[in-house]
Amino acid sequence: MSHYRAVSLLNATYEPLGHVDFPKAVRMLFRQVAVVEEGDETRRIGPHPWPTVLRLVRYVVQSWLYRPAAWHRGGVFLRDGHKCAYCGAKATTVDHIVPRSRGGEWSWVNCVAACSPCNGRKGNRTPQEARMPLRFATPRVPLVGEIVRARRAA
């Protein structure tokens, strides 16, 4: 089986949408939902040049990217850039600002990424009680698009 490079995909307004695999790009061309913006003219796929960048024929609304993201453990690491909220080292655990034993929830505003030493040092206390201030003001609920971009960058 031959390995193809991913094909870049642009919205109808030339905004980047991401990448699609080569077989999907070919299907999009033949369904006429996309056109070749850049391609290798020396190689052809039927009447089309070998695609490297496709542009959609119709605009695709991306409103889903601007919705609040559903909470998940991996999302906490992505939101916090895999950095400890207390010292800035590489984060390996998720820490609750208000400890679970005191009614703290698994939520975006109560969880931060932390390194094991800081998480152990803070223990069953709030950051104020442990004299461990957060490096940023308060945790926040990220948008789906922020999580998607952080995942692509990682």
- 102/37 same-domain check: no
Asked whether residue 2 is domain-assigned, the answer is no
pTM across the whole model:
0.66
Asked whether residue 23 is domain-assigned, the answer is yes
The number of domains in the chain is: 2
Asked whether residue 52 is domain-assigned, the answer is yes
- Residue 86: give its domain's CATH number: 1.10.30
- 52/71 same-domain check: no
- 80/128 same-domain check: yes
Length of the chain: 154
> Domain of 24?
7-56
- 93/139 same-domain check: yes
- 77/145 same-domain check: yes
Range 129-148 burial, b when 16+ CB lie within 10 A, else e = eeebeeeeeebeebebebbb
**What integer pLDDT is reported at residue 27 of this predicted model?**
96
- 135/77 same-domain check: yes
Asked whether residue 136 is domain-assigned, the answer is yes
Helices (H) and strands (E) in the chain, counts: 5, 6
Contacts for 55-63: CB closer than 8 Å, 24+ residues apart: 55/9, 55/10, 55/11, 55/12, 55/14, 56/9, 56/10, 56/11, 56/12, 56/17, 57/12, 57/32, 57/33, 58/12, 58/33, 59/11, 59/12, 59/13, 60/11, 60/12, 60/17, 62/11, 62/17, 62/145
Q: Which of 101, 27, 131, 133 is nearest to 112 (CA)?
A: 133
How does pLDDT run along the chain (154 residues), one tens digit per residue?
A: 455 689 999 999 998 888 999 999 999 999 999 999 999 999 999 999 999 999 999 998 888 778 999 999 999 999 999 999 999 999 999 999 999 999 999 999 999 999 999 999 999 999 999 999 999 878 999 999 899 888 887 7
- Residue position matching structure tokens 């870049």: 8
CB 10 within 8 A of CB 16: yes
The C-alpha atoms of residue 135 and residue 138 are separated, in whole angstroms, by: 9
**What integer pLDDT is reported at residue 1 of this predicted model?**
41
- 50/90 same-domain check: no
**What integer pLDDT is reported at residue 3 of this predicted model?**
59
- 20/76 same-domain check: no
- 135/102 same-domain check: yes
Asked whether residue 30 is domain-assigned, the answer is yes
> What six digits make up the tokens of 56?
């959609």
- 140/71 same-domain check: yes
- 105/46 same-domain check: no
Asked whether residue 1 is domain-assigned, the answer is no
**What integer pLDDT is reported at residue 152 of this predicted model?**
80
**What integer pLDDT is reported at residue 130 of this predicted model?**
96
- 74/143 same-domain check: yes
